[in-house]
Amino acid sequence: MPGITREEVAHLARLARLELTSEELDHFAGQLDDIINAVARVADVATEDVPPTSHPLPLTNVMRPDEVRPSLTAEQALSGAPAQEQQRFKVPQILGEE
């Protein structure tokens, strides 16, 4: 399997919303390459006939009654917000100006 390049790490960092420094890109590229080479061995045992396991419990669709229950007040829910206004989370602009 191909190794991971500095450019790929920069791309991953953008996807993962991490504003990495140039030094970090150099450092992480080598380390991620080592890790990926070490973990790639799982492909050797993953033959066609083996089904995947995503979870240890065979649960599907755990339901609860559809009823009103006590919950956090707006004040509690907003208590950790970096900024708030009129009982809402205040966020930087999401859409462009134009």
Partner 1 sequence: MSDLIRLTAAELAARVADGSVSAVEVTEAHLARVDAVDEKVHAFLHVDREGALAQARAVDDRRAAGEPLGPLAGVPLALKDIFTTEGVPTTAGSRILEGWIPPYDATVTRRLKEAGVVILGKTNMDEFAMGSSTENSAYGPTGNPWDLTRVPGGSGGGSSAALAAFQAPLAIGTDTGGSVRQPAAVTGTVGVKPTYGGVSRYGMIAFSSSLDQAGPCARTVLDAALLHEVIGGHDPLDSTSIDAPVPPVVEAARNGTARGLRVGVIREFGGEGFQDGVMRRFGEAVELLTTLGAEVTEVSCPSFESALAAYYLIAPSECSSNLARFDAMRYGLRIGDDGARAADEVTSLTREAGFGAEVKRRIMLGTYALSSGYYDAYYGSAQKARTLVVRDFARAFSQVDVLVAPTTPTTAFAIGERADDPMAMYRADLCTIPVSLAGNAALSLPCGLAPEDGLPVGLQIIAPAMADDRLYRVGAAVETAFAARWGHSLLEEAPAL
Residues that bind partner 1 (CB under 8 A): 1, 4, 8-9, 12-21, 24, 28, 31-32, 34-36, 38-47, 50-57, 59, 62, 64, 72, 76-77, 79-83, 89, 91-94, 96
Least distance to partner 1, CB of residue 16, Å: 5
Q: Which is nearer to partner 1, 87 or 91 (CB)?
A: 91
Least distance to partner 1, CB of residue 62, Å: 4
Least distance to partner 1, CB of residue 8, Å: 8
With beta carbons less than 8 A apart as the criterion, state whether 28 and 9 touch: yes
Distances in Å between the Cα of 92 and the Cα atoms of 41, 78, 84, 89, 95 are: 43, 16, 11, 10, 9
Distances in Å between the Cα of 1 and the Cα atoms of 32, 40, 62 are: 14, 8, 39
